[in-house]
Structure 1
Amino acid sequence: MITKVCAFYQFAALPDYRELREPLRALCAGLALKGSVLLAEEGINGTIAGAPEAIDTFAHELAHGALFGGRLNNLELKFSTAAAMPFGRLKVRLKKEIVTLGDAAADPTRQVGTYVDAREWNALIAAPDTLLLDTRNAFEVAMGTFEGAVDPEIKSFGQFKEFAAQKLDPAKHRRIAMFCTGGIRCEKASAHLLARGFAEVYHLKGGILKYLEVVPEAQSRWRGDCFVFDERVALGHGLQEVGLQEIGLQEIRLRERDEDAARDE
């Protein structure tokens, strides 16, 4: 049976996020879902997998159910499939941030860059005055990226603010277009740059995954594979699995080890 995968996030005020953990875990467990979900005061971020009808029920409950009371009505959702269950268990964790940057001024609920639809992305990044910036980790960039993209050469997203402080200048870099796997990192990065005085900041709505889903390969400016943090390891155009790669498996194992060792919040 085909397994359906749902990657989702939204920056939203969740002051009661601690109380949401167990009901959310119960919802997932009741639907026999596996994967990882992060809850923080700034929102929700996760990837889960299960039977197609269970995933559809879960997505509907997040956006429209009583648990979140309509606070996730702008949820960014991306669906794909897997030949087998890509997660070994279910984890629902409490965190200070749903994606860790460590900059209190970067608040996507207050200000964020301009979203660019995947079908309009090629035109934006082809403009000669646009700085195209990959906000992902170095090992992800090595597996695939857009033509002409700058690699910040960071080991974790938390290092992005140091890269920006050292390499980016509001006076010199008038237009910046950023991208990441699903949209969450570049959304927070755009809030960080706007807080630092950058005027034109754009980011790919839905991330690389949405681009690979809707843009035909013949028209694509993407080169290589897109790393994903589950047992599928990497996806290509049409969100097709491209086969296991040892470097990706190693990164997944290291991340799982670090998550298990880290305390919640």
Structure 2
Amino acid sequence: MHAVLNVSGYCFARLDDPHALRDVLLEAAAQRHLKGTIVLAHEGINLFLAGSESGIESLLTIIRAQPGLQGFDTKRSWSQSQPFRKLLVKVKAEIIRMNQPAIAPQEGRAPAIHARTVKRWLDQGHDDEGRPVVTLDTRNAFEVDHGTFDGAIDWRLHKFSDFPAALHAHKGELEGKTVVSFCTGGIRCEKAALVMREAGLDHVWQLEGGILKYFEEAGGAHYHGTCFVFDEREALDPELLPAKG
């Protein structure tokens, strides 16, 4: 029986006082014996937490009571033991660093495509308008090496803030195609999709909820390997279970 609930999620929203919210969430998470990381910024929240189901649900209720975070959603999986060693609640300039101040998902997100639609497009080899579909991995190279979509474009990024320069160098590969950007849970591919649209690419989508939501809704179709996660589980298989080494 898996006793530990693992949740990950993010939400781009305008937070007026992330430092005050940090104090609230740090105390609440500690009281509930949760471990993991919460990152706050004026642009929103990003978290990876694990603990008892009741503790997690209680904290999510507190988060969703905050202005702008009412729709905060998470991806869920279970483990037999606590995958995090400590609790961290941080305030940063960005919840995912890209160093592109003009890219502001909290003011309007890029179009998102659901997992089942992506699977259908990959099954048929084109989108619903007949345009060729490519998947673009926005994760770091070492994460891609654990697993990715079949035929995904991989620019061997060292860190996410390298993405805009990589796009500038490789934009021609994407022109005339429908591009589905993806990452672990959605946060990176959301910013990446906005950057691509800003660069003039018209047919760009972000994979809603990233690889983890795809596993949940579409299984492992068109995906090979596992999905790297930033905790002691290291990687999850399409069943959302820790991959066997």
* TM, length-normalised to structure 1: 0.85
SS in 2 for 1:239: coil
Question: Structure 1 residues 229, 151: CA separation in 2 closer, same or farther (over 3 Å shift)?
Answer: same
| Residue matched to 2:102 | 105
Contact 2:175 2:201 (8 Å CA) reproduced = no
Out of 189, 193, 199, which is 1:196 matched to? 199
Out of 144, 147, 164, which is 1:144 matched to? 147
* Structure 2 residue 118 is the aligned partner of structure 1 residue 117: no
| Cα distance in 2 between the residues matched to 1:183 and 1:209 | 9
* Structure 2 stretches lacking a partner, 5+ long: none
* Structure 1 stretches lacking a partner, 5+ long: 245-265
Out of 174, 181, 202, which is 2:184 matched to? 181
* Structure 2 residue 156 is the aligned partner of structure 1 residue 153: yes
Contact 1:170 1:197 (8 Å CA) reproduced = no
Please report the RMSD computed on the Cα atoms of aligned residues, expressed in angstroms.
1.6
Shift of 1:173: 4.2
Q: Percent identity?
A: 35
Question: Structure 1 residues 144, 171: CA separation in 2 closer, same or farther (over 3 Å shift)?
Answer: closer
Q: What letter matches 1:122 in structure 2?
A: K
* TM, length-normalised to structure 2: 0.92
**Structure having the larger proportion of residues in helix:** 1
| Cα distance in 2 between the residues matched to 1:175 and 1:111 | 20
* Structure 2 residue 136 is the aligned partner of structure 1 residue 133: yes
Match runs of 1:26-105 below 5 Å: 26-63=27-64, 65=65, 68-69=66-67, 71-105=68-102
SS in 2 for 1:93: strand
After the TM superposition, which segments of 4 or more aligned residues of structure 1 sit over 3 Å from their partners?
A: none
Deviations 1:220-251 (A, max 9, x none): 1110010000000000112011135xxxxxxx
Question: Structure 1 residues 115, 139: CA separation in 2 closer, same or farther (over 3 Å shift)?
Answer: same
Deviations 1:191-211 (A, max 9, x none): 111222221111111110011
| Cα distance in 1 between the residues matched to 2:173 and 2:13 | 28
